[in-house]
């Protein structure tokens, strides 16, 4: 999980992005920011463990960070509706992680990837946000503290925004990591497209064909999909009267949009050069 390390500023950016009638103290925003940092660290450790990239010796630290994250929200004493949403989001994380272990892995035999008969379809691309959506809970807490309770338009809108943004961010990460993921047999929205073209994959002998599939079938479409998710995220902020060019747009959406547009320009130039 590669999320901007300024993640501790997300609660502050959320507060800056709206006009509130109730002031949220800087000390509370810092407290929520520290909780964000703890969860970010814990999720990365859990991710490394599930991906067999080490991290087992840090499992205790990840558990401590997760407990501190949870404790933060109960210390603040928010609304019952917030805690209901909090638990549903955390449950989605658990379900997604279990699904990732059981369904999003292809078997490796003698260096070859054995493609499952039933590949995940990723029909609803926003489901990939489930593994990181708990990172939106600090922003939801800011709204709840300012008397915008979970279930109201503004609270619903902020969760919709983060669902779309985190989906776009995960998709962007999957594009960057596609070769590494494919070599390890990890099934993502990106590697699933490649796997559909093969009965089995030999990374050495099939690499040229794989690269052609990526360039022709994936790169442009994924960049376009990221931009559409970001546009939808912008619309969610407009619906709930976020400030124009607010911190959530400038610091979260713009970097993704710039990267996607850069990819579009590169691959369009590449395709035109090969015609």
Structure tokens at 40: 């970010």
The domain segmentation of the chain, as residue ranges, is: 5-114+121-274
pLDDT for 263 equals 86
How far apart, in whole angstroms, are the C-alpha atoms of residue 139 and residue 92?
A: 18
pLDDT for 273 equals 62
pLDDT for 55 equals 63
pLDDT for 200 equals 82
Structure tokens at 54: 């080490």
Residue 77 backbone dihedrals phi, psi, to 5 degrees = 60, 75
How far apart, in whole angstroms, are the C-alpha atoms of residue 126 and residue 254?
A: 19
Give the residue ranges of DSSP H helices in 146-219. Answer: 153-176, 178-183, 189-195, 207-213
Percent of the chain with pLDDT over 90: 65
Residue 35, Cβ density class (10 Å: 0-12 exposed, 13-18 middle, ≥19 buried): buried
Give the residue ranges of DSSP H helices in 20-79. Answer: 26-50, 59-76
> What is the pTM for the complete model shown?
0.92
Sequence-ordered list of residues with C-beta below 8 angstroms from that of 88, at least 6 positions apart, any chain: none
| H-run or E-run covering 102 | helix 80-103
Give domain 5-114+121-274's CATH number out of 3.40.50.300, 3.30.930.10, 1.10.600.10, 3.40.190.10. 1.10.600.10
pLDDT for 118 equals 87
Bridge partners (DSSP) listed for residue 134: none
What's the pLDDT tens digit per position in 230-253?
A: 999 999 999 999 999 999 999 999
pLDDT for 272 equals 67
Q: Between helices 59-76 and 137-145, what is the axis angle to 10°?
A: 10
How far apart, in whole angstroms, are the C-alpha atoms of residue 2 and residue 247?
A: 20
Can you list the residues of the chain whose pLDDT is less than 70? 1-5, 54-55, 270-275
How far apart, in whole angstroms, are the C-alpha atoms of residue 5 and residue 249?
A: 17
């Amino acid at each position: 999980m590669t999320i901007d390390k300024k993640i501790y500023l997300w609660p502050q950016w959320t507060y800056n992005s709206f006009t509130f009638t109730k002031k949220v103290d800087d000390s509370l925003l810092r407290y929520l920011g520290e909780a964000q940092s703890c969860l970010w660290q814990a999720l990365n450790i859990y991710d490394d463990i599930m991906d067999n990239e080490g991290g087992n010796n840090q499992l205790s630290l990840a558990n401590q960070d997760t407990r501190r994250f949870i404790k933060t929200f109960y210390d603040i004493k928010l609304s019952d509706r917030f805690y209901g949403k909090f638990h549903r989001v955390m449950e989605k994380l658990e379900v997604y992680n279990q699904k990732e272990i059981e369904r999003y892995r292809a078997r490796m035999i003698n260096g070859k990837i054995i493609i499952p008969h039933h590949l995940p379809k990723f029909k609803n691309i926003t489901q990939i946000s489930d593994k990181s959506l708990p990172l939106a809970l600090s922003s939801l807490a800011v709204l709840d503290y300012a008397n915008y309770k979970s279930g109201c338009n503004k609270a619903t809108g902020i969760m919709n925004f983060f669902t779309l943004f985190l989906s776009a961010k995960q998709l962007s990460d999957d594009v960057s990591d596609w070769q590494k993921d494919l070599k390890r047999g990890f099934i993502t929205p990106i590697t699933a497209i490649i796997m559909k073209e093969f009965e089995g994959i030999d990374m050495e002998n099939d690499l040229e064909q794989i690269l052609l599939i990526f360039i022709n079938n994936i790169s442009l479409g994924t960049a376009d999909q990221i931009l559409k998710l970001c546009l939808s995220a912008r619309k969610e902020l407009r619906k709930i009267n976020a400030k124009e060019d607010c911190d959530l747009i400038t610091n979260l959406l713009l970097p993704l949009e710039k990267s996607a547009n850069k990819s579009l320009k590169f691959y369009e130039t590449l395709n035109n050069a090969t015609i």
